[in-house]
Amino acid sequence: MLFNAGIQDLSSVGHFYTWHNQQANNPIHIKLDRVLVNDNWLQNFPNSFYIVGDPGCSDHSPLILVNSEVINRGHRFLFKNYVTKFPEFWSCLLEVFSLPNKSSPLSSFNFKLKSLKNSMKQKQWSNSNLIQAQIDTLKGLQHTVLEQIQSTPLDPHLNSKLHQININLAHNQAALSSWISQRAKVKWITHGEDDLKFLYSKINITKNYNRIKAISNDQGTLTDQADIAKVFINHYNALFNSPTPIHLDKDIPAGNVIPTHITSSLIAPITLEEIKTIFFASNTNTAPGPDGFTFHFYRATWNVIHNQLFKAVSSFFSTGYMPNQVKATAIALIPKQPHATNVKDYRPIALCNVIYKIIAKILANRMKLVMPIIINPSQGGFIHKRIISDNILLATDILGCFNLNANINFSVLNLTSPKLLIWSLKIFFTSVWKQKGFPLCLLIGSKLAQPTSTSLFALTGC
């Protein structure tokens, strides 16, 4: 019913439950009260949310509607897939990528992407707001010409003018629909539907839910955006930066090692077809990294940039050098639930540049061939033709047998230390890699390809 009415629950902070039956022996806490809004509200008040306060002497908690101040911030560059339909884009692309290389192939390729980005920012055809303004202008011209045709319907000049206006209008509307679909990230909408009202609604709802309104910690509830950013940065600094190095036992059993006849396939020269297969098998609308370029850009411009791209990727595997700008990572914080109020309620997602993803995918594809050989059969997840649910069923059977014998009692402990696990995995990876028989050049390349610690935090809504 809510969907048919075109309304949805506004995002909230504070308490989750809004009603209590005031009984100590049989307590009931439920989220009974909500603030429902429509698309028009989210368009006019995109930063609004409500706070679930303390109930005091009432059964219900008060809902306090808040419309926070709009802070104008510059948006990071995002390649708009529709620009590949404009001839002006190809002129700009050819101008940039015809420049000679002045440094290493990978650095030069990254510099040309940056130059292309700076050039596109100055062009009107890359501005979606100007596309909308042009659509409005064309609609006005269409209306004027149609009024003139009413009196002279066979006028060849007016009909030719109307035909050209309709072509330009369809072209710009297709570009706008493509951009809105790209922003909304609705996969099924790519099969021909272009309901812009639904897409705009999807974008508004996602932005409202993903926006970080307030964060609760030991110091209370913080609403200032600078304080929220500081809380997240301190949390992940403490999580990922170990104050003291962790030493693992050096006598780790090697187990199964890579057969010598397979080693050569791990360090075989990179081929253009290998890179092309990865590009054209990837989703074109995944979130881009800090440089803003999507897989669609690489696929659409493949015939122009593939030689320089091949040299850039090959240079990494031959020299082991990767510039920090290439492996820089933007960290986006995605709420795990609609009512996210704590740092742990957000999941950090690393947004890597496409060229970094390609290099990582090449390494992963080659390692995938040997993983089933060197990893113990008891490892069920993340291995081809193995299912992690098998271990879940095994754990369920084991727990089902606990305490069946009255004379013997068992207990289960769930020990989790994310910080220790992260650092242990890094040291374990480096130590065991050599014992398993991986080539040294592959080890060095994988370590150099790790994302830089100077990641960019994209605090959603901050």
As a whole number of angstroms, the distance between CA 4 and CA 8 comes to 10
459 DSSP β-pair partners: none
Contact 363, 445 (CB under 8 A): yes
pLDDT value of residue 184? 73
Contact 135, 173 (CB under 8 A): yes
The amino acid at residue 429 is F
E-state strands within 163-313: 215-217, 220-222
As a whole number of angstroms, the distance between CA 285 and CA 309 comes to 20
199 and 138 share one domain: yes
Contact 407, 418 (CB under 8 A): no
Within a domain: residue 342? yes
Within a domain: residue 421? no
Within a domain: residue 413? no
Counting beta carbons within 10 angstroms of the beta carbon of residue 337, is it exposed (0 to 12), middle (13 to 18) or buried (19 or more)?
Answer: exposed
In 3D space, the residue among 123, 134, 144 whose CA is nearest the CA of residue 169 turns out to be 134
Question: Six-digit token pair at 59?
Answer: 């059964």
pLDDT value of residue 460? 41
29 DSSP β-pair partners: 20
| CA dihedral for 9, 14, 17, 20, sign (positive or negative) | negative
Please give the helix or strand (H or E) that residue 48 lies within, else none.
strand 48-52
324 and 265 share one domain: yes
Within a domain: residue 415? no
Characterize the bridge pairing of strands 7-9 and 215-217: unpaired
Beta-carbon-side half-sphere exposure of residue 86 (alpha carbons within 13 Å): 21
As a whole number of angstroms, the distance between CA 425 and CA 403 comes to 34
Residue identified by tokens 């110091």 is 219
As a whole number of angstroms, the distance between CA 65 and CA 37 comes to 11
230 and 166 share one domain: no
pLDDT value of residue 455? 43
Within a domain: residue 76? no
21 and 124 share one domain: no
Say which residues have a Cβ less than 8 Å from residue 19's Cβ, sequence separation at least 6.
28, 29, 30, 31, 32, 33, 59, 60, 61
Contact 294, 354 (CB under 8 A): yes
pLDDT value of residue 453? 40
pLDDT value of residue 357? 92
Residue identified by tokens 């272009």 is 194
Range of the domain at 368: 221-396+426-458
Q: CB 245: neighbour CB atoms within 10 A?
A: 7
Of 189, 210, 231, the position where a domain reaches its end is 210
pLDDT value of residue 230? 87
- What DSSP state is assigned to residue 60? B
Model pTM? Answer: 0.73
238 and 385 share one domain: yes
As a whole number of angstroms, the distance between CA 286 and CA 327 comes to 17
pLDDT value of residue 250? 57
The amino acid at residue 252 is I
323 and 451 share one domain: yes
335 DSSP β-pair partners: 346
- Mean pLDDT per segment of 10 residues, for the chain of length 462 residues? 73 84 84 85 82 83 80 75 90 92 90 93 84 88 88 86 90 82 65 60 76 80 82 81 58 74 83 92 86 92 94 89 87 84 86 91 85 77 74 79 68 59 57 68 55 44 41
206 and 225 share one domain: no
Rounded to 5 degrees, what are φ and ψ at 239?
Answer: -80, -45
Within a domain: residue 406? no
As a whole number of angstroms, the distance between CA 201 and CA 197 comes to 6
As a whole number of angstroms, the distance between CA 133 and CA 130 comes to 5
85 and 134 share one domain: yes
As a whole number of angstroms, the distance between CA 289 and CA 328 comes to 8
3-state secondary structure of 154: coil
241 and 140 share one domain: no
37 and 105 share one domain: no
Of 37, 67, 97, the position where a domain reaches its end is 67
250 and 312 share one domain: yes
- Report the greatest alpha carbon distance in the chain: 101
pLDDT value of residue 416? 57
Instruction: Provide the domain count of the chain.
Output: 3
As a whole number of angstroms, the distance between CA 62 and CA 82 comes to 46
